[in-house]
Amino acid sequence: MSNLDDFLSPESPTWCPGCGDYTILKCLKEALVTQGLAPHEVMVVSGIGCGSKVPYYLRSNGYDSLHGRALPVAQGIKLANHALKVIVVSGDGDSMGIGGNHFLHAMRRNPDITHIIENNQIYGLTKGQFSPTSPKGFVTSTSPDGSLEAALNPMVLGVAGGATFVSRTFSGDVRHMVETLVRAMKHRGYSVIDVLQPCVTFNKINSFKWYKERVYDVTKSADYRPQDRKWAFAKALEWGEKIPIGVIYEDTSTPTYEDQVQVLQEGPLAERDERERPIHWRVLAGEEKLKRAFC
């Protein structure tokens, strides 16, 4: 069995004191230990941003990709070795802004990966510009008249786009976050977790206090129906005086992308000798060139 020390990195976090990223890192470790996963069984992929430094602060396999490109990298890793527990950690700007197109296509492919969206509603690393999830009218140092753009809702996009697991948690509730992460990682398919994570330096509105007064656990509702997509969509639209957290949608019937790729039925690519590839993979006219390339 693994323990928290197994995932302890020699690197020390450089986040601002009080940043919600500390809680996300702690809960991620606890979720991995809860499942009995060892560091060599885990791959954490990130983009660029404050929270995207997680691979440095977690002792496991890690890949720090380009801004907005964590999802395609993670999908490639999962295709090559689907025995790995692949986890993407990226911010709201990384996921919804430059990475928005990858987000849409990951949902329709349904790869077996877990995507943690660190949603602080602002670009923290680059000193406080409004992000795709900032509310309309949000005032920052670079938008003194307020943002003119409507906010994106990752939960709404997740349900509408076909993600097979859509959830939200709050970095001010450790127990809830660990439980949500564990449930997401156990789901076979693309799991989206929208983490409400206050930025204590640049976002003075969506604070821990602001969220605590509004969030409620939707799984405890009398009408809880996570298999009902229409119900989930209605819950995803809730925002304001009441904000639902928990798993709002789960589809266990849709096969993963890896399950549908014929060649992967013979085993992960990482465990196979490419020199013994099936004949339909070869370009017969270039057989000798292939032999020289792989021998």
Looking at residue 51, its pLDDT comes to 84
Q: Are residue 30 and residue 57 in the same domain, yes or no?
A: yes
Closest CA to 19 of 139, 120, 123, 169: 120
Q: Are residue 107 and residue 235 in the same domain, yes or no?
A: yes
Looking at residue 117, its pLDDT comes to 96
Q: What is the DSSP string of the chain?
A: ---GGGGB-SSPP-PPTT-THHHHHHHHHHHHHHTT--GGGEEEEE-SSSGGGHHHHBSSEEEE--TT-HHHHHHHHHHH-TTSEEEEEEEHHIIIIITHHHHHHHHHH--S-EEEEEE-SEETTTT-EE-TTSPTT--BTTBTT---SPPP-HHHHHHHHT-SEEEEEETT-HHHHHHHHHHHHHSSS-EEEEEE---TTT-SSS-HHHHHTTEEEGGGSTT--TT-HHHHHHHHT--SS-EEEEEEEE--SSPPHHHH-GGGGG--GGGS-GGG--GGGS-GGGHHHHHHHH-
**Based on the structure, what is the number of domains in the chain?**
2
Residue 284 lies in domain: 261-295
Q: Are residue 99 and residue 235 in the same domain, yes or no?
A: yes
Where residue 153 sits, what CATH number does that domain have? 3.40.50.970
Q: Are residue 141 and residue 8 in the same domain, yes or no?
A: yes
Looking at residue 141, its pLDDT comes to 84
Contact indicator for 14, 47 with CB cutoff of 8 Å: no
Q: Are residue 234 and residue 98 in the same domain, yes or no?
A: yes
Looking at residue 276, its pLDDT comes to 59
Q: Are residue 45 and residue 81 in the same domain, yes or no?
A: yes
pTM of the model: 0.90
Q: Are residue 274 and residue 245 in the same domain, yes or no?
A: no
pLDDT along the chain (295 residues), means of 10: 90 92 96 97 93 92 91 95 94 88 95 96 83 89 89 95 97 96 98 95 92 96 96 96 97 95 80 62 50 53
Residue range 128-149, pLDDT digits in tens: 888 888 889 989 888 899 899 9
- Terminal CA-to-CA distance of the chain, rounded, Å? 40
Q: Are residue 63 and residue 108 in the same domain, yes or no?
A: yes
Residue range 67-121, pLDDT digits in tens: 889 999 999 999 999 889 999 999 988 888 888 899 999 999 999 999 999 999 8
CA dist 236 → 7, 48, 179 (Å): 33, 27, 19
Q: Are residue 144 and residue 275 in the same domain, yes or no?
A: no
Q: Are residue 230 and residue 271 in the same domain, yes or no?
A: no
Q: Are residue 126 and residue 186 in the same domain, yes or no?
A: yes
Q: Are residue 247 and residue 270 in the same domain, yes or no?
A: no
